[in-house]
Amino acid sequence: MREKFLVTSRRDMEERGWDQLDFVYINGDAYVDHPGFAAAVIGRVLEARGYRVGIISQPDWHSAEPFKALGRPRLAALITAGNLDSMLSEKTAAKKIRNTDSYSPGGIAGKRPERATIVYANRMREAYKDVPIIIGGIEASLRRFAHYDYWSDKVRHSILLDSKADLLSYGMGEHSVVEIADALAEGKSVAEMYNIRGICYVTSHPPVTDKTVVCPSYEAVKADKLVFAQAFKQQYEEQDPFYGKILIQQSENRYVVQTPPALPLTTEEMDAIYELPFQRRWHPDYDAAGGVPALHEVQFSLTSHRGCFGHCHFCAITSHQGPIVQNRSHESLIREAQRMIRLPDFKGYIHDVGGPTANFRHPSCQKQLTAGVCRNRHCVGSEMCPNLDTSHADYLELLREIRKLPGVKKVFVRSGLRYDYVLADNNHKFVEELCRYHVSGQLKVAPEHVVKHVTDLMGKADVQAFLTFKKWFDEANEKIGKKQYLVPYFMSSHPGCTLKDAVALAEFLRDMHMQPEQVQDFIPTPGSLSTAMYYTGINPLTGEKVYVARRPEDKQMQRALMQYKNPANYDIVHKALCLCGRRDLIGYGPKCLIPPRRPGKRSEQGSRGRRPAAAAAKARPGRRAAGVPGNHDARRGPGKKARTNHSAFR
């Protein structure tokens, strides 16, 4: 069994007759050999090129010795914090330590350090001073320039400077890592690789030409939030592989240089990558701990594409995977599904066929494949581009082909569905077929908010699109005779959202009879447009000022309003309504959110002081319980299902 996995020990090396590896891959996550996990993808890609690769997962970082476990690599050390930013893996939006880690054996937290990329790189340098170090993955990719760090509440250097790595591979990385590997094998120095796309490096002599953009320095963006916003806008606008220029940012007497993004993968390249010999399970070393929880949701899922033109401003997928959708062929996906069907644990259910957004199966328009995306225009969001290709025909045909395979009982669609894109296609047939064959009782969608100026700042469609889609969804289920529900995700405390806006969202939830059991508080993760708004109070794309709820109490009030029925939230909801001048929402009427306080009672018992049931029945005769199940939202942090949008060293 072990010989089918990538090397993880000296014993594995001996069994293969290897005395030295070409690459040692330091991974902040447990090793799962599945195409949804970047360490497996990058390791398999290099292995397919003939390189000897070994993985050291979650090494004890308190000394350099564990980093020597597989010996000195012949070519380089590859380092990643894991599938998530290590700070996000460890801490919540309230900066509290998380109790679990789905990317660790048994879900046990504490298996990686804070700022793991930096710690691992420094330890590897201590172990082997002359070995080139290449960092990558989501943590490195989104911290490649001077950036705001929410957990320390300050602007930090590029992670390249703090880690002292030789190169940074940003984005998905298959192209760049192979080019780096081949250059190292040819005996080239790091300085001879500065023309590779999709990398960052540090130099004292940056290339300043008409094809470069010089951003404000680290010192300038740290000193002035307006300058930070201007620098972010420059970086944001040069992330296209077809017209993006070289970016340069000074820090003291050194310069961080980013080469243009790697070109999108072709369909043939994606097919080849996803058909590498993945075992689709965690390494056997983790069996005793009960395995790696993050695998469960994606073990029987298919990645049909990558990239996203959704431009949700709080999401880093567009910055990381790119806005140009790259897809796999039907034939390749069918072959993968057939291999999956033969696995001993397969029960007939394919959990997902999708990517970052399930129904974005092709580029938003054909121009993108030769000229790139529009620099100052989004494809979807508050407005739809008139050139948008909204066809769902290919995705629908793919789902039909997979569900007809012998051994498949059901094919679900569980990755994000962009319903405004469905509406733009005017595609009732897609919704009906989705409800009939591909929904398991609940379909998750993400309106995020209901106030237009907030959804505009989020890069989302307004609430009317959600209501229209809900009508379509309900009509489709009535037609086919099923009781299925939409589970909408909403977010509190996003930049631009005031307390008044949070009350409006609570009223919407009341009117829609929605009772979210879990809600998502905005977390300013590095690299996103929303994080730049949070830190600066400015929309970098327009220069307009943006309200930001920064105080913990302000954030707590917004979050509590989304769960106003929770007795534990009574006091904070009461305070929020009073501050907003909305005492009309405190009472026993059908539009009220909470009842009045009982005389002489502070609310240790919260809203258990609601009116008696008989009074409630009299006020609202015949009123039935809410119709939409609870909203379980952990999608933008640990505990969410492991998405199939892997990244290089992510």
Which residues, in sequence order, are bridge partners of residue 56? 26
Which token pair is 238?
A: 């040069």
Residue whose tokens read 């070393």: 285
User: H/E/C letters for each residue in 366-399?
Assistant: CCHHHHCCCCCCCCCCCCCCCCCCCCCHHHHHHH
Q: Return d(Cα 471, Cα 476) in angstroms, integer.
A: 9
Q: Taking Cα atoms as reference points, which of 297, 305, 348, 347 lies closest to residue 324?
A: 305
Separation between Cα atoms, residue 1 and residue 57, nearest integer Å: 18
CB 504 within 8 A of CB 450: yes
The answer to whether residues 639 and 296 touch, using CB atoms and an 8 Å cutoff, is no
- Write the CB contacts of 622 (distance below 8 Å, at least 6 apart in sequence): none
- Type of residue found at 535: Y
The DSSP string of 546-566 is: -----SHHHHHHHHHHTTTTS
**DSSP class per residue in 159-170:** HHHHHT-SEEE-
Token duo for residue 568:
């534990």
> How far is 538 from 543, CA to CA, in rounded Å?
6
The label of the residue with tokens 């820090």 reads: 251
Contact 23, 44 (CB under 8 A): no
Cα-based angle 43, 61, 252 (whole degrees, multiple of 5): 90
Distance in Å from the first CA to the final CA of the chain:
25
Residue 312 annotated in ligand binding = yes
d(CA 349, CA 341): 9
Q: 497 among the known binding-site residues?
A: no
Cα–Cα distances (Å) from 480 to 169, 411, 429, 434, 476, in that order, read 49, 17, 12, 11, 6
Is 200 annotated to bind ligand?
no
527: its two tokens: 């690299």
In whole angstroms, what is the distance from residue 57 CA to residue 122 CA? 16
Q: Which residue has the tokens 């009317």?
A: 464
User: Nearest 5°: CA angle at 89, between 128 and 281?
Assistant: 80
Interhelix angle 393-403/330-341, nearest 10 degrees = 30
Q: What are the residues whose beta carbons fall under 8 Å from the beta carbon of 206, sequence distance 6 or more?
A: 212, 214, 248, 255, 257
Strand 23-27 relative to strand 254-258: parallel, antiparallel, unpaired?
unpaired
Q: In 459-543, where does DSSP find H-type helix?
A: 463-480, 499-511, 529-536
Neighbouring-strand partners of residue 147:
156
The three-class DSSP label of residue 117 is: helix
Whole-number Å distance between alpha carbons of 643 and 589: 43
DSSP helix/strand/coil, 590? coil
Backbone angles phi, psi at 445, to 5 degrees: -135, 165
Q: From the CA atom positions of the chain, what is the Rg in Å? A: 25
- DSSP codes, 313-374: TT--HHHHH-SS-EE--HHHHHHHHHHHHTSTT--SEE-EEESSSTT--S-SSTTHHHH-S-
Cite the annotated binding site by residue number: 308, 312, 315
Cite the annotated binding site for [4Fe-4S] cluster by residue number: 308, 312, 315
